[in-house]
Structure 1
């Protein structure tokens, strides 16, 4: 059963019980992702890490920067 079929069943059940209909699937996805991002930033600060720029810093440690490369033999 996919999300639309589940939503249709929930809407039918809510109508029979005279309850408000549930929100459509995907309605609160953006808000949920923002809350997850904020929570991860909060946890980083609590543990003494950077709150922002962590991905860029990690990639900077893993990947060599073009500015740090030595020029090829001429």
Structure 2
């Protein structure tokens, strides 16, 4: 049974009891998404983190945590640092 079938059954039962029919399936989906986003932002503020970041920045940070030597903020690949690698001056 899908959401539309369930809605039809609930509407029939509401009509039998003289009650208002339930809202159509999917009608409040975006409202739920907004409420979840607002709750996540509120929790971030309470924890002392920034409440809102651009999705590209968040994705870049997540990728950088998983992969060493990934693209930095300037857009150029990060230079590996370790023994035997030249420093920024090329020495």
Report the TM-score range of the alignment, normalised by the length of the smaller protein. 0.7 to 0.9
Bigger helix share? 1
Q: Is 1:4 matched with 2:12?
A: no
Taking structure 1 as the reference length, the TM-score comes to: 0.80
- Report the 3-state secondary structure (helix = DSSP H, G, I; strand = E; otherwise coil) of the residue aligned with 2:75: coil
Aligned Cα root-mean-square deviation (Å): 1.9
Could you tell me how far apart the structure 1 residues matched to 2:60 and 2:5 are? 45
CA distance in 2, matches of 1:55, 1:67: 16
State whether structure 2 residue 19 is matched by structure 1 residue 19.
yes
Listed as ranges, the gaps of 5+ residues in structure 1 are none
Question: In the TM superposition, what whole-angstrom CA distance separates every residue of 1:3-51 from its partner, at most 9, and x where no partner exists?
Answer: 0000000000000000000000001111111111000000011011110
1:14 counterpart SS class: helix
- Structure 2 portions without partners, runs of 5+: 65-69, 79-91
- Take 1:36 and 1:49, find their aligned partners in 2: how far apart are those partners? 17
What does residue 69 of structure 1 align with?
77
**How many residues are paired up?**
70
TM-score, with structure 2 as normaliser: 0.67
